[in-house]
Homo-oligomer: A and B are copies of this chain.
Amino acid sequence: MAEKLHHVVFEPDGRTLRVPEGQTLMEAARAAGIHVESPCGGNGTCGGCRVIIPERAPPPTEVCRRELTGEELARSVRLACQVRVVTDLRVIVPQETGLGDQKILTEGADLPVPLAPNVRKTAVHVPPPSVDDQRADAERLLDALADGGLADLAIDVRVVRDLPDRLRSFDFHPSVVVIGDQVVHLDRATAADACYGMAFDVGTTTLAGYLMDLVTGKVVAVASRANPQTAYGDDVIARIEYCGRVKAGPRTLQALVVGAMGEMVAEACRRASIKPSAVYEAAVVGNTTMNHLLLRLPVDQIARAPFVAASSSAHSVPASEVGLKIHPQGRVYTAPLVAGFVGADTVGVILATGMHEGDRLRMAIDIGTNGEIVLGTRERLLACSTAAGPAFEGARIRYGMRAATGAIDRVDIQAGRVVIHTIDDAPAVGLCGTGLIDAVAALLAAGVVGPTGIMKSGQELERAAPHLARRVSGADGDIAFMLAGKDETGGGHPILLTQRDIREVQLAKGAMAAGVHTLLGEFGATVDDVAEILLAGAFGNFIRPDRALAIGLLPRAPLGKVRFVGNAAGGGARMLLVNRNLRRVADDVARGVEHVELSQRPDFQMRFAEAMLFPGG
């Protein structure tokens, strides 16, 4: 009894969802990780989730009529929580809450984490000094905070420098910002409620940021960017080599990433109508290299056997120390790393999926430029990192591109004919990660590519699939399949998938699969023992799992075992931002996970070679 699905295209980022009939736009957007403002939580009471439905706008509900102006109703503005999907739709999400020009997953599942942020802001009445009470300003303030339940705090000398002036200009009734056990700032009492933090997932290729209200624990805005370091290398090894080659390299890469992070803060704050100076802490997860580059720690020993980090601990440093533009007295918390290339992003995935507390054997696969795999239960967790490479993020692929307008994001071969879909339905300009997986899966299914990854020539295909045969050009190593011709590219160059591209896919999926099997072997388990496969990553949510299974990117398992968990690494960062107690848990997780160093295992190379074959070989 299949439910009826409708295609809903979300503008301006062009993502298309198949939405079950009767679901609201808000529910659909949430399920797909598309951020739509919903201050009231989707209850139709705040009117915050405005979207525009330019064609076939449904009649406004009573709530829409109450919350929206006549002018808005006439412009086809509706509330996303009020629109039930009963037909295909195109929906424009107002720009200030949109995702920008790239599909980057910036919101995962809601996190059931108690609110206990490391940053606290509280208004306090400090008794003014008198001849009978000559306590110093700092100790006077600390005593007042202790009376209010915030005991055992300290004030750094740098903060004391402003303290006498501030206490007096606020008439001894300031709003006090505390980070950890440190009083870091005094503000006027009226600003008591403005207290924000930013959670970051710093990926090799993409950056995701979540601006969180630390009083409510809610995400109030998101921002994302390509990691500008990519200009200096597609993967971490290339960037480490760059740092070894060019003296100013580390400084350059650090400035790039922290600059982009600062832009993200500014952008998210603009959307939420707050000042970046109301952001007091950033919580950052990232792999070992991203972590070290951000903190200006040396990276060259990471890339040389035996591949060790300079420091795997969590750090909390002044924002000014790394140059992140939040409140001048703000701090940057970086979550702890596991070992080797397995970093804090993996710790984030574990925290967000609760694998460190689970009884059932589960596997998390985080597909990024490096692929991290975690396997285990609360008793024992194994993790490894594989150099999957940035193929699925568009790099090293002849016509590869990021998931932006004009990217082919879906490829099917139906009745011998190629059917493509592009983001924003725009003329095709390239091929993004999901399109790449789809294309390879389709060519495998159609017999154009064999299990060893060799593409058949036009001649070989002529009889069985004449429509497809015509799309094959070149010969030998240079052979290629045309995914989109002039008609579909608006007269631009045709989009080809080359033999070399397929090799890149084989390398990437082979690395992932070999990692999966090495971990299973180390654990003494088989795929069948795994109760659930959690697919994480900025990119995971957009993959069609059957296609990923078809090319062997995911281990051979029933589709029902596969669950998308969104950007779980970023989810971990959000949890660590809003709950300081979890930071000790993160330390334990980071220390407790057994790191499996793939590169040094004799079985890995063999498994890798095997795993480069496509299923069915």
Binding site for B on A (CB under 8 A): 129-131, 133-140, 154-155, 157-158, 160-161, 163-165, 168, 295-298, 300-301, 305-313, 315, 317, 321, 337, 339-340, 595, 597, 600
Across-interface contacts of A140 in B (CB, < 8 A): 308
Across-interface contacts of A300 in B (CB, < 8 A): 164
Distance in angstroms between the alpha carbons of A56 and B315 in the assembled complex: 68
Distance in angstroms between the alpha carbons of A11 and B155 in the assembled complex: 48
Cβ-defined contact, B313 with A139, below 8 A: yes
The distance from the CB of A329 to the nearest CB of chain B, in whole angstroms, is: 15
Known: A164-B301, A165-B298. A308 touches B157 (CB 8 A): no
Distance in angstroms between the alpha carbons of A165 and B595 in the assembled complex: 24
Name the residue on B nearest A163 (C-beta): B310
Known: A131-B597, A157-B321, A306-B131. A136 touches B298 (CB 8 A): no
Cβ-defined contact, A134 with B597, below 8 A: yes
Cβ-defined contact, B136 with A308, below 8 A: yes
Name the residue on B nearest A137 (C-beta): B310
The 6 closest A-B pairs by CB, nearest first: A138-B311, A136-B309, A136-B312, A131-B600, A160-B311, A134-B339
The distance from the CB of A481 to the nearest CB of chain B, in whole angstroms, is: 41
Name the residue on B nearest A600 (C-beta): B131
Provide a sorted-by-A list of 30 A–B residue pairs whose CB atoms are within 8 angstroms: A129-B308, A131-B305, A131-B307, A131-B600, A134-B307, A134-B339, A134-B597, A135-B312, A135-B339, A136-B309, A136-B310, A136-B311, A136-B312, A136-B313, A136-B339, A137-B309, A138-B309, A138-B312, A138-B313, A139-B311, A154-B313, A157-B311, A160-B297, A160-B310, A160-B311, A161-B296, A161-B297, A163-B311, A164-B308, A168-B301
Name the residue on B nearest A340 (C-beta): B134
Distance in angstroms between the alpha carbons of A191 and B310 in the assembled complex: 24
The distance from the CB of A580 to the nearest CB of chain B, in whole angstroms, is: 17
Name the residue on B nearest A321 (C-beta): B157
Distance in angstroms between the alpha carbons of A163 and B139 in the assembled complex: 37
Cβ-defined contact, B131 with A164, below 8 A: no
Name the residue on B nearest A595 (C-beta): B134
Distance in angstroms between the alpha carbons of A309 and B138 in the assembled complex: 8
Across-interface contacts of A158 in B (CB, < 8 A): 321
Distance in angstroms between the alpha carbons of A295 and B230 in the assembled complex: 44
Name the residue on B nearest A312 (C-beta): B136
The distance from the CB of A163 to the nearest CB of chain B, in whole angstroms, is: 6
The distance from the CB of A338 to the nearest CB of chain B, in whole angstroms, is: 9
Across-interface contacts of A306 in B (CB, < 8 A): 129-131, 133-134
Distance in angstroms between the alpha carbons of A137 and B296 in the assembled complex: 15
Cβ-defined contact, B305 with A139, below 8 A: no
Distance in angstroms between the alpha carbons of A130 and B301 in the assembled complex: 12
User: Residue A310 contacts which of B164, B312, B597 (CB distance < 8 angstroms)?
Assistant: B164
Distance in angstroms between the alpha carbons of A614 and B305 in the assembled complex: 83
Known: A129-B306, A306-B131, A600-B131. A298 touches B161 (CB 8 A): yes
Distance in angstroms between the alpha carbons of A129 and B297 in the assembled complex: 18
Distance in angstroms between the alpha carbons of A139 and B168 in the assembled complex: 45
Across-interface contacts of A340 in B (CB, < 8 A): 134
Cβ-defined contact, A297 with B157, below 8 A: yes
User: Residue A308 contacts which of B135, B154, B155, B595 (CB distance < 8 angstroms)?
Assistant: B135
Across-interface contacts of A298 in B (CB, < 8 A): 161, 163-165
